[in-house]
Amino acid sequence: MKSTEDMEKFVADAKPHVTTGESMDKRVLQDSFAAMDEKCRVGLAPPSLIGGLKPTLRFAKLAVAAAVIIAIGVFLTRDRQEPSQPAPPQPAVQAPTAMLSMMSLRTTYQRGGWDALDRQFRDTLDQFGPVASGLSMRQLLEGPNGS
Amino acid sequence: MIDEKILVWRFNRGSKDALRRIYEKYKDDLLALALTLLRDRSMAEDVVHDVFVAFAAGTGAFRLSGTLNGYLSTCVANCARDRNRLKAGRNAGLDGAEAVACGFDGPLESAARREESGRLNNLLAHLPYEQREVLVLHLQHQMRFREIARSLGVSINTVQSRYRYGLDKLRSVFNSTVTE
């Protein structure tokens, strides 16, 4: 008496081992190649390198879910952010020759008012010292005339 | 698995060498499957022939979702079922079993193994085709029930019940032949 497991093993082990004959191989391959040639002649649509990766409904659902999660994350992160400190006003110009030109003074005043102007004056003094040696009035005023 | 994907990719590009390699790799297994299902060597050869010709004609558009072995085995099983319906009027009887036993090639096959396979085919001849099909695909070709159900177009419960009934019947036939 064989049990179910024994029967399963018996069927699996008794798999017939057959080999195809040479004539069969020749016939199958010849006819298959002919069918392939015929298909190629009619028009072989080359598959893309990522063949099979089609935008299915599943992908669309995943994309929508990802977009919703990202949007919620951005929203929560923005709400939790501390109110940012105002950045310290940057000097309008960095080049020494332009630090006291009319254009730079006007720009500095527009950006930071009198405090910014005062800061720029002090920076200028730090760099040039009390005497602006080598800096002519013409150079100081260049800018307003566009020269 | 990657080898299969590369082979299929080359096959889809129209490579005859890829088709030849696929044929060489699976021909014996597929012939054995067709032979077990149909119990007629010439019909089994025709089935394998038809499956490969149809497969070759699908070059450029073939999409592999599972394994190539599973796909080709399914094609052979489907084609064999059609052939089986055609010959339903004719009674194969045990003459067909003799044809299976004679179908083993290769002198190195042991006599005991031939005898066992022939005996199994005699036993399988007592089963309805549907049960035989499920048993062979699952036990000899390692196809899962879900895969078989999808290829046959039936529910997995149907496949499992066919398997269970088939195995029970095979066991009872086997035990009755032993006790006789």
Domains of chain B, by residue range, sit at 2-179
Contacts of A47 in chain B (CB under 8 A): 9, 12-13, 60-61
Sign of the dihedral through C-alpha B160, B164, B166, B167: positive
Sign of the dihedral through C-alpha B105, B106, B109, B112: positive
- pLDDT at residue A50, as a whole number: 47
Q: For A35-44, B4-13, B85-94, which range has the lowest pLDDT when averaged over its residues? A: B85-94
Say whether pLDDT at B35 is over 80: yes
Give the pLDDT mean for A98-110.
76
Say whether pLDDT at B68 is over 80: yes
Q: Tell me how close the Cα of B25 comes to any Cα of chain A, in angstroms.
A: 11
The structure tokens 């299902």 sit at B37
Say whether pLDDT at B26 is over 70: yes
- Residue of chain B whose alpha carbon sits nearest to that of A6: B171
Contacts of A35 in chain B (CB under 8 A): 53-54, 56-57
- Residue of chain A whose alpha carbon sits nearest to that of B101: A16
Q: Give the mean pLDDT of chain B.
A: 80
Whole-angstrom Cα distance, residue B62 to residue B34?
23
- pLDDT at residue B102, as a whole number: 45
The 10s digit of each residue's pLDDT in A54-85 is 556 677 888 888 899 998 888 887 766 655 56
Contacts of A38 in chain B (CB under 8 A): 57
- pLDDT at residue B48, as a whole number: 92
Buried b (16+ CB within 10 A) or exposed e, B62-87: bebeeebbbbbbbbbbbbbbebbeee
As a dihedral over the C-alpha atoms of residue A69, residue A71, residue A76, residue A80, rounded to 10 degrees, the angle is 130
Q: For A121-135, B11-25, B54-68, which range has the lowest pLDDT when averaged over its residues? A: A121-135
Give the pLDDT mean for B7-36.
88
Say whether pLDDT at A94 is over 80: no
> Is A15 in Cβ contact with B53 (below 8 Å)?
no
- pLDDT at residue B81, as a whole number: 85
> Is A16 in Cβ contact with B117 (below 8 Å)?
yes
Contacts of B104 in chain A (CB under 8 A): 16-18
- pLDDT at residue A44, as a whole number: 56
Contacts of B14 in chain A (CB under 8 A): 36, 40, 44
Confidence band, pLDDT 50/70/90 cuts, at residue A52: very low
Whether the Cβ atoms of residue B141 and residue B73 lie closer than 8 Å to each other = yes
Q: Tell me how close the Cα of B27 comes to any Cα of chain A, in angstroms.
A: 7
Looking at CATH, the fold of the domain delimited by B2-179 is given as Butyryl-CoA Dehydrogenase, subunit A; domain 3 (1.20.140)
Nearest to A47 among B60, B117, B136 (CB): B60
Per DSSP, B125 falls in state: T
Whole-angstrom Cα distance, residue B31 to residue B48?
6
Whether the Cβ atoms of residue A40 and residue B55 lie closer than 8 Å to each other = no
Say whether pLDDT at B171 is over 50: yes
Closest C-alpha among A93, A92, A97 to residue A128: A97
Q: Tell me how close the Cα of A35 comes to any Cα of chain B, in angstroms.
A: 5
Give the pLDDT mean for A91-120.
75
CB pairs under 8 A between A and B: 131
Confidence band, pLDDT 50/70/90 cuts, at residue B157: very high
Chain B contact probe: residue of A32, A48, A56 with most B CBs at under 10 A: A32
Chain B contact probe: residue of A20, A44, A56 with most B CBs at under 10 A: A20
Q: Tell me how close the Cα of A48 comes to any Cα of chain B, in angstroms.
A: 10
pTM of the model as a whole: 0.57
Whether the predicted interface score ipTM is above 0.85: no
CA dist A12 to A34, B28, B68, B136, Å?
A: 36, 16, 20, 8
Sign of the dihedral through C-alpha A46, A50, A53, A59: negative
Give the pLDDT mean for B10-19.
87
